[in-house]
Chain A
Amino acid sequence: AQTVTQSQPEMSVQEAETVTLSCTYDTSESNYYLFWYKQPPSRQMILVIRQEAYKQQNATENRFSVNFQKAAKSFSLKISDSQLGDTAMYFCAFVTSGTYKYIFGTGTRLKVLA
């Protein structure tokens, strides 16, 4: 079965500091796509970053970057210069190219402290 595990239910970080959210996944497929989503208190799901499994280079989007370790099936999200607006639930997800099922983890609740 394809699964996503986020082992940190809650985390906190001081404003302007850096925090890393962990995500591991399990699939037997070799071609897939990985995503991080942010869900602020409004509950709107917002795409943070996308990674293609066949690309070695880690994706970056401004203050957000990933550490993609394909062999270890790990896809962690690093948030640099944390801001109060980063306070949200963060979900890791992936989809294989042969299916249409986007599988999500249970999420990590991140609180940025002033």
Chain B
Amino acid sequence: SQTIHQWPATLVQPVGSPLSLECTVEGTSNPNLYWYRQAAGRGLQLLFYSVGIGQISSEVPQNLSASRPQDRQFILSSKKLLLSDSGFYLCAWSGDPSSPLHFGNGTRLTVT
């Protein structure tokens, strides 16, 4: 069966520090991969998605970036965090656009 791993679960970082969140999927090949952010009490905002290695689509221009170095690995990064980057980050995958998204457990990021 397919599983998705996301880490770390919780992160507290100072303003201006770098960020790296990692997500891996097991049990499937060539998944579509996604990063969402959920601000406190808000809905899910699509940040990035990838339909293949090296293919990244950005939905929100900001100081975050994403990379997909391997088929089942998706990384969310920032060179310098802002206070507004605080939130709950969710990684997800799907097999194709008719399938539901399967989510990781999320990362709670607090920028201080």
Where the two chains meet, the residues of A that have a C-beta atom closer than 8 Å to any C-beta of B are 6, 33, 35, 43-45, 47, 50, 52, 91, 93, 95-107
User: Do A101 and B94 form a contact, CB below 8 Å, given A43-B106, A44-B103?
Assistant: no
- Residues A43 and B88 in contact, CB atoms below 8 Å apart: yes
Q: Could you tell me if B46 and A107 are in contact, using CB atoms closer than 8 angstroms?
A: no
The total of interchain contacts (Cβ-Cβ below 8 angstroms) comes to 55
A52 CB contacts on chain B under 8 angstroms: 98
B44 A91 Cβ-Cβ under 8 A: yes
Which residues in A have their C-beta under 8 angstroms from that of B100? 35, 47, 50
Number of chain B residues whose Cβ lies closer than 8 Å to a Cβ of chain A: 23
Q: Which of B43, B57, B98 sits near A106, CB closer than 8 Å?
A: B43
Residues of B within 8 A of A103 (CB): 46
The residue that A95 contacts in the complex, of B36, B42, B43, B97, with Cβ under 8 A, is B97
Given known pairs A104-B44, A106-B43, the reply for A99 and B97 (CB within 8 Å) is: yes
